[in-house]
Amino acid sequence: MLATSHPAPSAPRSLSAALAGHPRFVADPMRPGSLDPIRPDDRVLIVGNGLTSADIVASLTRSGHHGPITSISRRGLRSRGHAPCPQEPFGDFLSKPATSAAALLQTVRKTIAGAAEIGESWHAVIDQVRSNGHEIWRNLPVAERRRIVRHLRPYWDVHRFRIAPQVEEVLDRAIVEGRLEILGASVAGAKTDGAAIDIVLFKRSGERVEKRFDAVVVTTGPAHGSILQSQMWLHELNQGGHLKLDPTGLGIACNESSEAVGTDGLANSSLLISGPLARGTFGELMGLPQVSEHAVFIAAELAKKLKAVR
């Protein structure tokens, strides 16, 4: 059973090549002490705008940082907060399952509108999508799954992975005070000028702007696309034809029994994929409840296999 969970983060090549060796280029903010070189008045660029980015802003604020922070993502979306009060999951996504990304999006929007009519927020609808994630996902052809990953995943992520109230308060205050700006942009170029870092940003509007920073922190998350190169034994299994990437880019290819699918397209009944790396097949497989359910499923599959060889 392969249960390696998430691969390590990987900085965009445009940054890692230009900023390698810079003392305030933080490619892996999860490494202990990685933010220590950032000084209180440094101009900071955060690449990525999810929960990790929010945690970085909160950590810097807590450590006494008061310089300007720019946080970017391609769409400029920010993680949403939790519902003001507990709600039960709301909506029906299974009786007439969507078979395309467009149909699923339409159903979600209609359900959110219906929830609002009875005083429920979007949180209840997204919670229902999350709880029905496997069944919703399995009804979608691979091409539609890829379309969701390409076009809808950023919107799903900011609604699915919600920011803690305390951290949300820190971000709101930083925005009001003018210390934090959130932009829809990507990095188009980077270079150093002494200790300063000059970044060319390509904004969502099409405008190219150059800004100077003192520190760059990458929070784009795990490098799922390079999981098979992240560890030698995974690389060897891939080279041997036993593993390949899932076509959605969400981990390692496997079938509905969680058996690894090799480069020849055939499943290996003796090699099972457990946890988030199987979400290309199983859909929503990130939260602890879903990962736990999948672990139980894997255990049952293993029990059946052991029973069959007795």
**Which DSSP category does 169 fall into?**
H
- Could you name the CATH architecture of 13-77+163-218? 3-Layer(bba) Sandwich (3.50)
Confidence band, pLDDT 50/70/90 cuts, at residue 222:
confident
Whether 218 contacts 11, CB under 8 Å = yes
pLDDT score at 13:
84
Query: What are 23-71's pLDDT values in tens digits?
Result: 999 999 989 999 999 999 999 999 999 999 999 999 999 999 999 999 9
Confidence band, pLDDT 50/70/90 cuts, at residue 115:
very high
pLDDT score at 62:
97
Query: Which percentage of the chain shows pLDDT scores above 90?
Result: 86
Whether 186 contacts 13, CB under 8 Å = no
Instruction: Give the residue from 298, 241, 248, 309 showing the smallest Cα distance to 273.
Output: 298
Map tokens 């457990």 to a residue: 274
Question: 143: which residues sit within 8 A by CB, 6+ positions away?
Answer: none
Whether 303 contacts 263, CB under 8 Å = no
Confidence band, pLDDT 50/70/90 cuts, at residue 227:
confident
User: Does 226 score more than 90 pLDDT?
Assistant: no
Question: 182: which residues sit within 8 A by CB, 6+ positions away?
Answer: 49, 71, 72, 76, 78, 175
Query: What are 86-98's pLDDT values in tens digits?
Result: 999 999 999 999 9
Confidence band, pLDDT 50/70/90 cuts, at residue 239:
very high
pLDDT score at 146:
97
pLDDT score at 174:
98
pLDDT score at 294:
93
Query: Which percentage of the chain shows pLDDT scores above 70?
Result: 100
**Which DSSP category does 208 fall into?**
E
Distances (CA, A) of 144 to 18, 71, 125, 140, 159: 36, 30, 21, 6, 20
Which amino acid is located at 166 in the chain?
Q
Number of other CB atoms surrounding residue 29 within 10 Å:
18
Number of other CB atoms surrounding residue 260 within 10 Å:
24
Q: How many residues does the chain have?
A: 310
Which amino acid is located at 15 in the chain?
L
Distances (CA, A) of 15 to 11, 35, 189, 208, 227: 7, 17, 8, 17, 20
Whether 246 contacts 252, CB under 8 Å = yes
The C-alpha atoms of residue 1 and residue 180 are separated, in whole angstroms, by 44
pTM reported for the whole predicted model: 0.90
Query: What are 178-192's pLDDT values in tens digits?
Result: 999 999 999 999 999
For the stretch 281-301, what's the b/e string if a residue is b when 16 or more beta carbons lie within 10 angstroms of its beta carbon? bbbbbbeeebbeebeebbeeb
Query: What are 194-208's pLDDT values in tens digits?
Result: 999 999 999 999 999
Instruction: Give the residue from 247, 248, 269, 251 showing the smallest Cα distance to 260.
Output: 269
Query: What are 254-297's pLDDT values in tens digits?
Result: 999 999 999 999 999 999 999 999 999 999 888 888 899 999 99
Q: Which sequence spans correspond to the domains of the chain? A: 13-77+163-218, 101-154, 224-308
